[in-house]
A and B are shown apart, each in its own frame.
Chain A
Amino acid sequence: MSLPIPKPRFEAPSYQTSQTQSRRKRVARAIVAVDLVILLAPPVHWLFAKGGNTSSLWYFLAANALVTLSLFALWLTARTDGDEKE
C-alpha cells in the first residue's frame, strides 16, 4: 500500500486562502444582513412603537452601537481580502 502523493506546497496555501476568503465574504454578508435587519426591518421598529417608556430611545442607541461595532468586524473580514495596504 502506497502513501498518498502529497499536494505540491504551492497549491495548498492558495486553496486555503481561497477558502478563507470565501468564508470571510460569507461572514461580511451575514454582518450586513444583520445590520439591515436591526435598523431597517419594520417589525423591529414596531416592537418599540408604543410610547410611554424609553425603550424606543434605547433601541436606537443599542442598534446603532451594534452597527458601529459591525464596521470593525467588517474591517477584520476584509483584512486579507487581497487589496493593497493604505
Chain B
Amino acid sequence: MNMLIGYGAIVLFTALVVYVMSRGKRGDSTMSEYATGGRSFNSWFGTMSFLNTWLAGTVFIAFAGLTASGGVLGMYSLSYSLLSVVLMFFLGTPVNKWGRTHDLRTQADLLGLRYNSRSVRVIAAIIGVLASVPWVVLGMQSLGLVFSTLSFGQVSPYLAVVLGVLFIAARQVWTVRLGTRGLIISDMVQGLFAYGVGFLVILGLLTWLFTNGHGFGNIAPALLELPGPGSPAGPLYLFSLIFTGMMGAWCWPDLFVRMFSVRTPRTVQKSAVQAAPILFLFSAALTTMCLLASSVPGVSAAPDTVWFIMAGVGGTGLVAVAGVCVVAATMGNIGANLQAVGTQVVNDVIGVRNQHRVESSKGAKIAVAAITLVSAAAALLTANQVSGLIVIAFVSYQAVCQLAPTLLLGIFWRRGTALAANAAMVSGILVAAVLELMYPSPLSIPWLGGLTSGVAGLIVNLAVYVAVSIVKPAPAAEQERVDRLFDDLKKREPAALDNQPA
C-alpha cells in the first residue's frame, strides 16, 4: 500500500506536468522557435525556468547531505547561487538583445557572433556538451534514491536506479516533441511543486526539529566551522568553492539559453529580481533544516538521505510528497540539459561543420532523442560505479567554468579576440584538468592555499585571455564590427515587442 502511494504520487504528478505541457503546445517547427520558445515568455516563467534549471533534484540529496555531514560549509551553494543571480541581472541586456537581433539559439551561437569565429563557437559547444552529459547521467541515477525510498523496501537499490532512469528517459518524449516552450511551461508546474510545496514541507520539518530538541544548541561544534588559516582544506577553499560556482553558473548551456526565452532584457532583469528571494528563502530554509537534522539519529550514517529521513516524521504521505519534490526538480534540470545539449550539437557543431544555418527543428529533435538514449544507457551501465562518474562530473564542472572568461569578458569587454578566447579556454581546461586529477580529494590544492583546480585554471585562463587580447589586438575591421555590436545595445527596441503574447 505504501509503495502504491509513493509511486502513485509520482505518476499523478507526471501526468499533471504532461497535461499542462501539452496544453501549451504550438508548432515549433523552426529551429529558433524550438530552441528559444519564440522568445515570448514573461518574467514569472523566466524566474521559474531559471530556478527549475538551476536547483536540480540533487539539492535535496547530495547538497542536503553535504550540509548534514559537512556542516555550515554546505551553505556555500546559497552564496554562489545568489551571486549568479546578480550576474544574470547584468547579462540580461546583452544576451537577450543580441539573441533577438541576431536570432541566436545557443550559448555557442552567441560566442560565434561575438568573436566572429567558428573555432570559438565549436570549442565552446563541445566543452558545454561534454561537461553536461555526466551531470545528466548522474541526475538520472539520483532518481534511484527516490524510487528506492518510495518503494518502502519493496524494490532493491539497483532496480530502483533502473526504474528511475527509465522513468526520466520516458519523460523526455515530451521534451523532444515540445522543445523549449514545453520545457518552460513544465518548469512552472515543477518549480511550484519542488520549491513551493517543498518550502512548506521544510517549514514543517524546521518546526518539528525546534520542538523536538534539535535546535541550534544541538549542532556539533565541528559542523559550525569554516575553513580558515591553518585549516586542512586551506584558507582560500571557501572562496574557491563560491567563486567557481558563480563563474561556472552561466557557462552551463541549459541555464544560459533561458535568457533567450523571455521577451526583453528588462524581463531577464525582472526574472532575476523575482528569483533572488525565492532562491534565498528556499535554499536557506533547506540548508538550515539539514544542519539542524545533523543531530537526528540515523542522519550521520546516511547523510544523503536526510531529506527522506526527515520527511519520515510525517508518515508515508509526507515521504511521497518529498519524493515528488525531488522528481519535480530533477525533471526540470535533466530536460533543460538534454534540450540545450541536443540543440547545441546540431546548431553549433553539425551546422558549423556543414557550413549552413540549421533552420528546421527536426535535427535538434533527433539529437535530443539520441542524447537521451545514450545518457540513459550510460546511466544503466554505470549504475554500480557511481563514484567513478562523480569524479568525471567534478572534472567536467572545473572544465565548463573555463568558458567564463571567454563568455563574460566577451560580453562585457570589447577588446577580447577570438585568438585570446581559444588560447584561454584550452589553457584553462588543461591546467584545471591536470590539477583536478592530481588533487581529486578534497579538491583543494594545499600549495595554493586551498584554491581548487577550477580557480587555478581560471587564473591562467584569464591571464592568457587578457594578455593575448592586448598583445595581438583584433584587426581594425573586426574591432569596428565588435564596436557596432556593443553600440547596438544602447539602442531602444521597438515598443511592439513589449506586448507580445506568451
Point out residues on A near B: beta carbons under 8 Å: 32, 35-36, 39-42, 45-46, 48-57, 60-61, 63-65, 67-68, 70-72, 74-75, 78, 82-86
In the complex the two chains form, is B219's CB within 8 Å of A74's CB? no
Closest CB in chain A relative to B81 CB, distance in Å: 9
Using A84-B495, A86-B42 as known contacts, say yes or no to A46 and B79 having CB atoms under 8 A apart.
Answer: no
Q: How far is the CA of A45 from the CA of B221 in the complex (A)?
A: 17
Residue pair B221, A52 in contact (C-beta under 8 Å): yes
Closest to A78 in B: B269
B154 interfacial by beta-carbon distance below 8 Å: no
One of A36, A67, A70, A84 near B497 (C-beta < 8 A):
A84
Measured in the bound complex, the distance between the Cα atoms of B226 and A45 in whole Å is 7
Given the interface pairs A51-B225, A85-B266, A86-B264, the reply to whether A60 lies near B79 with Cβ below 8 Å is yes
CA distance A65 to B221 in the complex (A): 24
Give Cα A57–Cα B224 distance, bound, in whole angstroms: 7
- CB of B265 closer than 8 Å to a CB of A: yes
Inter-chain contacts of A70 with B (CB < 8 A): 86
For this complex, 30 residue pairs linking A to B, each with C-beta atoms less than 8 Å apart, are A35-B83, A35-B86, A39-B242, A40-B79, A45-B238, A48-B226, A49-B227, A51-B222, A51-B223, A52-B221, A53-B221, A54-B224, A56-B72, A57-B72, A57-B216, A57-B224, A57-B291, A60-B72, A64-B78, A64-B284, A65-B280, A67-B79, A71-B272, A71-B276, A74-B273, A75-B273, A83-B93, A84-B498, A86-B266, A86-B498
Contact check: which of A41, A46, A54, A78 meets B228 at CB < 8 Å? A46
The answer, yes or no, to whether B82 is at the interface (CB within 8 Å) is yes
Q: Given A42-B238, A56-B72, do A63 and B79 touch, yes or no (CB 8 Å)?
A: yes
Interface of B is mostly: helix
Hey, which bits of chain B sit against chain A, CB under 8 A? 42-43, 72, 75, 78-79, 82-83, 85-86, 89-90, 93, 216, 219, 221-229, 231, 235-236, 238-239, 242-243, 246, 263-267, 269-270, 272-273, 276-277, 279-280, 284, 287-288, 291, 490, 492-493, 495, 497-498
Contact indicator A83/B266 (Cβ below 8 Å): yes
The residue on B at minimum CB distance from A36 is: B83
> Do A39 and B265 touch across chains, with their CB atoms under 8 A apart?
no
Measured in the bound complex, the distance between the Cα atoms of B94 and A69 in whole Å is: 24
Task: Tell me the nearest residue of chain A to B271, going by C-beta.
Answer: A86
Q: How far is the CB of A34 from chain B (nearest CB, A)?
A: 11
Bound together, the chains give a CA A63 to CA B235 distance in angstroms of 19
B79 contacts which chain A residues (CB < 8 A)? 39-40, 60, 63-64, 67
Considering the complex, give the chain B residue whose CB is closest to the CB of A61: B284
CB-CB < 8 A to B270: which residues of A? Answer: 75, 86
- CB pair B284 A54 closer than 8 Å: no
Given contacts A32-B86, A45-B226, A68-B276, contact A84 B242 (CB under 8 A): no
What 9 pairs across the A-B complex have the smallest Cβ distances?
A49-B228, A51-B225, A60-B75, A71-B276, A68-B280, A46-B228, A52-B221, A51-B224, A49-B226
B277, chain A: closest CB distance, angstroms: 5
B89 touches A57 (CB 8 A): no
Q: Which residues of B contact A71 (CB under 8 A)?
A: 85-86, 89, 272-273, 276
In the complex with contacts A68-B280, A84-B495, A74-B216 CB distance below 8 A: no
Contact with B224, one of A45, A56, A74, A84 (Cβ below 8 angstroms): A56
Measured in the bound complex, the distance between the Cα atoms of B82 and A85 in whole Å is: 24
Chain A positions within 8 Å of B242 at CB level: 39-40
In the bound complex, what is the Cα–Cα distance between A60 and B270 (angstroms)? Answer: 24
Residue of A35, A65, A86 touching B263 (CB-CB under 8 A): A86
Query: A51 to B276, alpha carbons, bound, how many Å?
Result: 28
* B466, chain A: closest CB distance, angstroms: 19
- Asked if residues A45 and B228 are in contact (CB atoms below 8 Å), the reply is yes
A-side contacts of B280, CB under 8 Å: 64-65, 68
Contact A52 B226, beta carbon cutoff 8 Å: no
Q: Which A residues are CB-close (under 8 A) to B493?
A: 84
Q: For the complex, what is the distance from the CA of A67 to the CA of B226, rounded to whole Å?
A: 20
- Most-contacted residue by chain B among A32, A45, A63, A71 (CB, 10 A): A71
CA distance A40 to B87 in the complex (A): 14
Choice from B236, B264, B277, B284 contacting A42 with Cβ under 8 Å: B236
Q: Select which of A39, A42, A61, A67 is within 8 A of B235 by beta carbon.
A: A42
Query: Roughly how many angstroms separate A46 CA and B279 CA in the complex, as a whole number?
Result: 25
- B24 to A: closest C-beta gap in Å: 20
Q: Is the CB of A57 within 8 A of B266?
A: no
Q: Closest approach, in angstroms, between the C-beta of A1 and any C-beta of chain B?
A: 43
Q: How far is the CA of A13 from the CA of B376 in the complex (A)?
A: 61
Question: Is B284 within 8 A of A67, CB to CB?
Answer: no
Are B267 and A86 in contact, with the CB atoms below 8 A?
Answer: yes
Please report the C-alpha to C-alpha distance between residue A63 and residue B493 in the assembled complex, in whole angstroms: 37
Q: Which B residues are CB-close (under 8 A) to A32?
A: 86, 90
Contacts of A40 in B (CB 8 A): 79, 83, 239, 242-243, 246
For the complex, what is the distance from the CA of A85 to the CA of B228, rounded to whole Å? 46
Residues of B within 8 A of A54 (CB): 216, 219, 224
**Which residues of chain A have C-beta atoms less than 8 A from B222's C-beta?**
51
Q: Which residue of A lies closest to B222 (CB)?
A: A51
